[in-house]
Amino acid sequence: MRDATEARYRTLAAQALAANDYEQAKLCYARIIDGAGSTNPQDQLQWAFILAQGGDQISAAAVIDRLAPDHGRGLAEAHRFKALQMARQLGELAEKNVSGESKDAFLLQFKHHIDRSGNANPIEISDLSAAYYASAGRPDEALKYFVESARAAPDRWLRAAAIAKAQGNHQAYAEALTEAESYHRALLQKTPHDHQARIALATVLIESKRLADASQLLAEGLKLSDRAELRRAASDLVLLRMQQFAAPWGEDFGEFSRLLARALELDPVNPAAYQVLLEVYHRAAAAEQRAALRARLERQIAQGQSIAFAHFALGTMLWSEGDHDAALWHNEQAFALNPDLLDVANNLAWLISETDPPDLDRAYQLIERVVQQRPDHVNYRDTKGVILMKMQRQEEALVEFETILPQLSGAARKQVHERLASIYDALNKPSLAAIHREEAERL
């Protein structure tokens, strides 16, 4: 009778879980665990999962700890669960620079749970083992396990090649590339419209220094299907080919600008192409070359190709030329067309704060929205700090500059030291102001 009752509750719980009704599932399993007093480990594990999905992480962790103790045997599935959890925590350890005994103890427990997980999934066990050996400072062992997972899942060969390349293991790199090429070429022969396989094969060809073959492969793909992913890959490949020019702003400028136009034609919203365009513009020695690059963007606007990006790039170019009004106009146009472009909003906030008279309230509203979306971006925080200084909100500006200071070097760090000196003067902190001036002079 008891077995039939428990089976009934398990069925009801499964139905509740299928409907994402975690409260009902929890109620059913509470009858099994508390009411019937089930000691079945599988019931206990399911109970832990239901508690976790219902938001009671502390109780769920306590159940899992009983099922998979850090020292000793337990339920294999619970050990697997803890191993997967600990694998996700490795990134946090790296970010916090945890080392020494604390890290060693963590890795020892991690290995304990991996070994007792009874994992029948070769990819998962390889991933867990690779994560362990990578964190333990044994990259060769980590690569060995990742290669094992690639043998089980051939779509991983390209990633295995990247790992081998990063480790400087040339033999493993070459072998992984060969396997990746065979796998993706077979996929593409079977389904020529598989754009992901085509891009992956192009990546293999690029890694193997066969740029012409990669270019032809992507061009054939674009004839079959005009997909944005293929256009981005083809555009990026053109940018890669452009790296052969040691001084594109010199005698090779004509060919370089032709390739740049091709990269933008393939993908008018490729930010990497605009970055190259702006770098070349800033380094171009001849006014004719800069005029040709501006004309390219003006033609792009006239042809209706990625107009917001083109206005933004023109605004940046004209800003560097000292033409504030024209730069402001183009950035206003770019922002009106696409207010979600954060670089555009950042530049516009800066330009508005530099007008005479400045509209500091609007500038602050713009940059505050940008920083809320990307609080880790140094340039955006710098713009916000400058605007706050102009608004005489010195203590708030202080927070912005002191947040980004550790990430800066060279001229950018010197400039922030100078701004901090000015802020500390305004806050009547002369000793701190003097130290920042000393640091600025030293740089």
CA distance 397 to 81: 46
Which residue type occupies 64? Answer: I
In a domain, 25, yes or no: yes
DSSP annotation string for 307-340: HHHHHHHHHHHHHHTT-HHHHHHHHHHHHHH-TT
Contact 300, 268 (CB under 8 A): yes
Percent of the chain past pLDDT 70, that is, above it, reads: 92
- What is the tens place of the pLDDT at every residue in 221-270? 999 999 999 999 999 999 998 887 666 555 667 777 788 888 888 887 78
How does DSSP classify residue 355? S
Contact 141, 133 (CB under 8 A): yes
Q: Where are the alpha helices (DSSP H) in 54-194?
A: 57-67, 76-95, 100-115, 122-135, 139-152, 157-167, 170-190
User: Among 15-24, 108-117, 278-287, 383-392, where is mean pLDDT lowest?
Assistant: 15-24
- Residue 1's pLDDT is 46
CA distance 427 to 443: 24
Rounded to a whole number of angstroms, the distance between the first and last alpha carbons of the chain is 82
Structural domains of the chain, count: 1
In a domain, 41, yes or no: yes
Q: Tell me the mean pLDDT in the region 128-138.
A: 88
In a domain, 55, yes or no: yes
Contact 318, 330 (CB under 8 A): yes
Beta-carbon-side half-sphere exposure of residue 82 (alpha carbons within 13 Å): 32
Contact 292, 280 (CB under 8 A): no
CA distance 319 to 329: 11
Q: Is the pLDDT of residue 35 over 70?
A: no
* Long-range interactions of 362-366: CB distance < 8 A, separation 24+: 363/387, 364/388, 364/391
Written as six digits, the tokens of 365 are: 């509203």
CA 101, chain centre distance (Å) = 30
CA distance 4 to 7: 5
Dihedral sign (CA 424, 426, 427, 429): positive
pLDDT band at 186 (very low <50, low <70, confident <90, very high): very high
Q: Where are the alpha helices (DSSP H) in 68-99?
A: 76-95
- Residue 17's pLDDT is 64
Within 8 A by CB and 6+ apart from 331, the residues are 311, 312, 315, 344, 347, 348, 351
In a domain, 30, yes or no: yes
CA–CA distances in Å: residue 363 to residues 11, 184, 335, 352, 353: 60, 50, 13, 6, 6
Mean pLDDT, the chain, rounded, equals: 86
- What is the tens place of the pLDDT at every residue in 68-77? 888 888 888 8
Residue matched to tokens 């024209």: 326
Parent domain of 37: 2-67
pTM of the predicted structure, to 2 decimals: 0.65
In a domain, 397, yes or no: no
| Three-state DSSP class for residue 153 | coil
pLDDT band at 3 (very low <50, low <70, confident <90, very high): low
CA distance 227 to 221: 9
In a domain, 61, yes or no: yes
In a domain, 15, yes or no: yes
How does DSSP classify residue 406? G
* Residue 370 CB coordination number (10 Å): 24
CA distance 31 to 66: 20
- What is the tens place of the pLDDT at every residue in 387-434? 999 999 999 999 999 999 999 888 899 999 999 999 999 999 999 999
In a domain, 86, yes or no: no
